[in-house]
Amino acid sequence: MTETVAEILAAHRAGLMTPKETVARTFARIRAHNDPAVFISLRDETDALAEAEALAGKDAAALPLYGVPVAVKDNIDVAGLPTTAACPAFAYTPARDSTAVARLRAAGAIIIGKTNLDQFATGLVGVRSPYGIPKNPVRADLVPGGSSSGSAVAVSAGLVPLSLGTDTAGSGRVPAMLNNIVGLKPSLGMISTAGLVPACRTLDCISVFALTVDDAVAALAVMAAPDPVDPFSRDRPLATLTAFPRGVRLGIPRPGQLIFFGDKAAEAAYGAAAARFAKLGAELVEFDLEPFYETARLLYEGPWVAERYLVIRDLLASDPEAIHPVTREITIGGARGSAADTFAALYRLQALRKVAERTFAGVDALLLPTAPTAYTTAEVLADPILLNSRLGTYTNFVNLLDLCGLAVPAAIRGDGIPFGVTLLAPAGRDAALASLGRAFHADTALPVGAKSIPQPPLAAPSSSLHGDEIAIVVVGAHLSGMALNHELTSLGGRLLQATKTAADYKLYALSTTPPKPGMLRIEESKGSAMEVELWALSAASFGRFVDLVPPPLSIGTIRLADGRTAKGFLVEPAALDGARDISEFGGWRAYMAQKA
């Protein structure tokens, strides 16, 4: 089945499925799912199919999200689709994409539509919208989680493999837990917020929902870049994923500090998750959680509610009934604070940030429940503010303390309620969290989303491209440890993986100094599979590297055994007169070894 981003990309690149077919399947699934509360607006299907079909003429290997369908939370601008923030009276139609959406499109993604949310991104429950309440596909009586309700449900239900949410106080993490998916909350400023309707502008970030950590990181890699039009943008380069690191120290709260509101099943699931991390090799280190709780209280008891008020104060004045009553009740309090209150809160926050710095001096990351428990829609509607607040117990402090976070599934409880944990670390450690989370999620062997779909095998952690990197296949003297490998490493080249070509090639030993092979493409499946390496170079370095390639070698498109294609070394047929056919060795390294 092709459900994850990685599986869809592999199918597209191998020609097993076209982007147009994938997009058509997406719209068919949305119709079959038949929940009008998931999407507030959909693109015209004909337009989306035409955009997908236009990808056929582009280089699939050069587009990291080639033909991948994406849903976008309806407080993020998509050109030509209304941005409502779940408030019809607020709606406008933007002429241009938000920066994040523009970067997704440039990477080959196909935007499908705009998803439902708690109005003005105020809420963690997903029930505060005039467009309805998306049904939780894991357990129908549960709230879907908010504010990014529609985005999380769309991924969990298998409608799209990837979606954008936002996360100011947990809106990218709580829905991930309640829908048994991954929620990646990047470092503040890592993804541009240009084109995002603010909730709290100093704390907002665009987040990612996916079925696996690797899929979420693939989207983050495309969007993570400084943006001159966003004054809150920061240069936060995404590091490389690694295997589960040795000696990693995970902070767990001191005994008695965790709060589950009487939910014994959630408490047991957290204990089991901590034990799983220990089994994977982490050292569990106790820390004091109380300062983090105090920070969380600042978010809604302090002046940051005034930021929410700023966004909608004109609408509050002109048409207060247009705003959801719970959203209105929470937001209107932002008009009451004084400048003195604001500075007092800022001073206290700065002190709490210093406490957090000391905590992270002794641990690499914190391990916490994503949420302490789960509630039904009926329960939340009966007590909308208190129960919402409880869901934010472990999320509200994160952006105030400038942390990055990754929410991953940990268990499906005996009562069918999903439970998840969140890893937290100081800003800039996004890849480190992903390296931990991907190994943990794979170890759980949980199905992904709500459809009981098995997790795909965990790929080599370095096999994805970052930023503007381009993959290149090397065949001979540029292989690791070979005579010309320094030409790659001196340009910042990064080994992605050792792999094989499709069985479409012959390999010849050329008369060159230093010795090099020439790989020739022949009729499909009529040749041999060759051992090769896949390297990553930045776009600028790729250009410089290609300029160094001497004749009779050239750079062409090489088909790999798994169906992917990438640029790599080929030889001009005219240069092969008298050259020895060494295809029987299956690669240059084996040939050179027998000569030694």
- The CATH number given to whatever domain includes residue 323 is 3.90.1300.10
Residues 436 and 476 in one domain: no
**CATH number, domain at 478?**
3.10.490.10
Mean pLDDT on 437-459: 93
Which whole-number Å values give the CA distances from 34 to 39, 82, 139, 306, 344, in the listed order? 10, 21, 16, 38, 50
Residue 564 has a pLDDT of 79
Q: Is 147 a catalytic residue?
A: yes
Residue 469 has a pLDDT of 85
Residue 13 has a pLDDT of 87
Least confident of 21-30, 249-258, 342-351: 342-351
Cis peptide before 514 (omega within 30 of 0): yes
> Residue 337, class by beta-carbon neighbours within 10 Å (0-12 exposed, 13-18 middle, 19+ buried)?
middle
**How far is the C-alpha of 149 from the C-alpha of 394, rounded, in Å?**
18
Residue 400 · residue 453 · CB < 8 Å:
no
Last residue of a domain, one of 429, 444, 459: 444
Residues 494 and 372 in one domain: no
Structure tokens at 424: 């937290």
Residue 450 within a domain: no
Residues 386 and 431 in one domain: yes
Structure tokens at 205: 């970030």
Q: Is 171 a catalytic residue?
A: yes
**How far is the C-alpha of 168 from the C-alpha of 396, rounded, in Å?**
8
Average pLDDT along the chain: 92
Residues 58 and 9 in one domain: yes
Residues 247 and 390 in one domain: yes
Residue 565 · residue 540 · CB < 8 Å:
no
From the candidates 41, 129, 171, 583, which is the catalytic residue?
171
Residue 332 within a domain: yes
Question: How do residues 158-212 score in pLDDT, each as one tens digit?
Answer: 999 999 999 999 999 999 999 999 999 999 999 999 999 998 889 999 999 999 9
Structure tokens at 390: 């409880």
Residue 458 within a domain: no
Residues 561 and 422 in one domain: no
Task: Render 207-234 in DSSP notation, one character per residue.
Answer: EEEESSHHHHHHHHHHHBS--TT-TT--
Cis peptide before 554 (omega within 30 of 0): no
Residue 498: which domain range?
470-595
The span from the first CA to the last CA of the chain, in angstroms, equals: 45
Residues 245 and 171 in one domain: yes
Residue 574 within a domain: yes
Task: Render 150-178 in DSSP notation, one character per residue.
Answer: HHHHHHHTTS-SEEEEE-SSSTTTHHHHH
Q: Is 73 a catalytic residue?
A: yes
Residues 6+ apart with CB under 8 A from 20: 49, 52, 53, 56, 67
Residues 407 and 498 in one domain: no
Least confident of 62-71, 217-226, 295-304, 579-588: 295-304
Last residue of a domain, one of 409, 444, 479: 444
From the candidates 20, 41, 73, 149, which is the catalytic residue?
73
> Residue 486, class by beta-carbon neighbours within 10 Å (0-12 exposed, 13-18 middle, 19+ buried)?
exposed
Residue 449 within a domain: no
Residue 416 within a domain: yes
From the candidates 129, 147, 528, 541, which is the catalytic residue?
147
Residue 307 within a domain: yes
Return the SS3 of 517.
strand
Residues 411 and 491 in one domain: no
Mean pLDDT on 261-265: 98
What is the DSSP secondary structure assignment for residue 400, as one 8-state letter? Answer: T
Residues 419 and 526 in one domain: no
Separation of CA 193 from chain center:
16
Residue 277 has a pLDDT of 98
Residue 454 within a domain: no
Return the SS3 of 545.
helix
Residues 292 and 398 in one domain: yes
Residue 306 · residue 201 · CB < 8 Å:
no
Residues 99 and 246 in one domain: yes
Query: 567: which strand partners?
Result: 472, 557
Q: How many domains does the chain have?
A: 2
